[in-house]
Structure 1
Amino acid sequence: MQKRDGHIHTPFCPHGSSDSFEKYITKAIDNGFTEITFTEHAPLPFPFTDPTPDKDSGMKHELLPAYFEQLQVVKERYKGQIIINIGLEVDYIVGFEEQTRNFLNKVGPMLDDAILSVHFLQHHARYTCIDFSDEVYLQFAKEVGGIQPMYDLYYETVKQSILADLGPYKPKRIGHPTLIHKFQLAHSETIDDSAQIESVLQLMKAHHYELDFNSAGLSKSFCQEPYPTIDHALFAKKIGVPIVFGSDAHTANDLHQHYNVLQQKLTF
């Protein structure tokens, strides 16, 4: 069986760990994985201001050459043992499409794989990182008029990311498209967003995108489910959306987290 983990962070992550590329790679080999993609958070577009306190949502622009160089070295070193894809997790930020397209045009030739994700939502010209903390999440919900309006804005933004013209090197995989569930247990409301999720997945199908079936939510105390849920991943599979498992590991310890449980239920 081909085992693939398509969403892995690195020592270049400013909010992650210093675990080396080799630590991730040897663990992947030991666990029988045949292919992995390192998808570090791409530098945020200028002049976007990171709203997080430490401004550490993306790697620094000046580190990109070293990131690509080090990945080329390990890619060659472990050739024949495991396929290592050089990738990035690129943020879709409303209003910064041109800057993102220019960035992708520049780095695209060096990428084997990539993910397009929504972490930042815009409201009244201000941006919020909705997966930063439960406090930030709940405060943002108040600002936009409630939990449901926040969910609506999130899915609308994900749809915009799918439809956006980001050039020939635009990532073909949509990252954790139900990330808005990360703090769902921090509020007491019951939101039925199944129709919205299915609409997103159908749009992905229509525009030939892969799904980042992301296990990280299972380890989040206020989420306790993957992004998206198994039922919605099964829906994606049913309509023909390619599914790529992603552990979204920010430490080697979290690499391939929950893979076996999800694989048994879905077979991806």
Structure 2
Amino acid sequence: MLRDGHIHTQYCPHGSTDSFDQYIERALGLGFSEITFTEHAPLPEGFMDPAPSRDSSMRKSDLELYLRDVEYVKKQYASSLTIYTGLEVDFIPGFEKETTQFLTEYGPHLDDAILSVHFLPLNGQFVCIDFSEEEFERIVKEAGSIEFVHQLYYDTVLKSVQANLGPCKPTRIGHITLARKFQRMFPCTKSFEPEINRVLQEMKKAGYSLDYNGAGFVKPLCRETYPPLDIARAAYSLGIPLVYGSDAHAAAGIGQGLEQIDRTIIIEGSV
């Protein structure tokens, strides 16, 4: 039973206008039996989206519509595909209280969820590390080095794992090597193996699963999954469940990177 646990929708401002039906028909055509729609959750009140285009997540006013639409297609396709209602929630240092309040309110409506880091605190403001190579270059210059950006990223991912966000906290951690998205243009000489191993150990302790994300492989400046094979296998050796995610932002993205992951170590079926 093949599962895609990380899919975006037309409610994503930086995605496509493809319909739920288009995503679902693509998933069925590729032989998936289970999928989770994980739209970017609205950002916390008081947090200014640091992406240059201010389009990182869905509008709060669209959230109820999104939840309603997912529930509708769940019933419509119930005989051929198991669909889970989910969100990709941002961990933002300093906004733990607001995130907990959001999860307390909306967590009971979800079947599945991912906790991810896209934003880093840098010199008194936040930056979005995966927006573009130009923005990443600006961030590196402001930080002083690529190594500093990577260190800050893994430190923040560790905080996301350790954070108390209440009983509805997502238990799957998203794309834990997203800092490598532009590595072919901005290579990092340090491996950060100890930092990544610490993240994995804390995930194991908490009983969390890992987003085994195929999107990085199709990014021309990355060309590897998030995480790459060695880290994915290290997670598996620790007993951390891995869930394949296409991180599709258009219907054509369903299944991306699937041939590059180790299919023998992923969970296939059931949240």
1:144 paired residue number: 143
SS state of the match for residue 227, structure 1?
coil
SS state of the match for residue 88, structure 1?
strand
Q: Distance in 1 between matches of 2:170 and 2:11?
A: 20
Contact 1:230 1:266 in 2 (8 A): no
User: RMSD of aligned C-alpha atoms?
Assistant: 1.2
Q: Which runs of 5+ in 1 are unaligned?
A: none
Contact 2:7 2:39 in 1 (8 A): yes
Contact 1:68 1:86 in 2 (8 A): yes
Large movers: runs of 4+ above 6 Å: none
TM-score by length of 2: 0.95
Deviations 1:58-117 (A, max 9, x none): 100010111011111100111121110000000000111000000111111110000000
Which has the larger displacement, 184-193 or 57-66?
Answer: 184-193
1:91 paired residue number: 90
1:154 paired residue number: 153
Q: CA deviation at 1:266?
A: 4.5
SS state of the match for residue 43, structure 2?
coil
> Which amino acid in structure 1 is aligned with residue 139 of structure 2?
F
Q: Distance in 2 between matches of 1:267 and 1:106?
A: 31
Deviations 1:27-83 (A, max 9, x none): 111211111000000000011001122211010001011101111110011112111
Q: CA deviation at 1:267?
A: 5.3
Q: Distance in 1 between matches of 2:264 and 2:241?
A: 16
1:258 paired residue number: 257
Is 2:119 the counterpart of 1:123?
Answer: no
| Count of residues in Structure 1 that have an aligned counterpart in Structure 2 | 267
Q: CA deviation at 1:239?
A: 0.6
1:67 paired residue number: 66
1:49 paired residue number: 48
Q: CA deviation at 1:188?
A: 4.4
Q: Distance in 2 between matches of 1:156 and 1:261?
A: 27
Q: Distance in 1 between matches of 2:93 and 2:257?
A: 32
Deviations 1:140-191 (A, max 9, x none): 1222221111111110000000111111111010000000000111124422
Q: Distance in 1 between matches of 2:107 and 2:237?
A: 31
Contact 2:212 2:244 in 1 (8 A): yes
Change (3 A) 1:167 1:188: closer
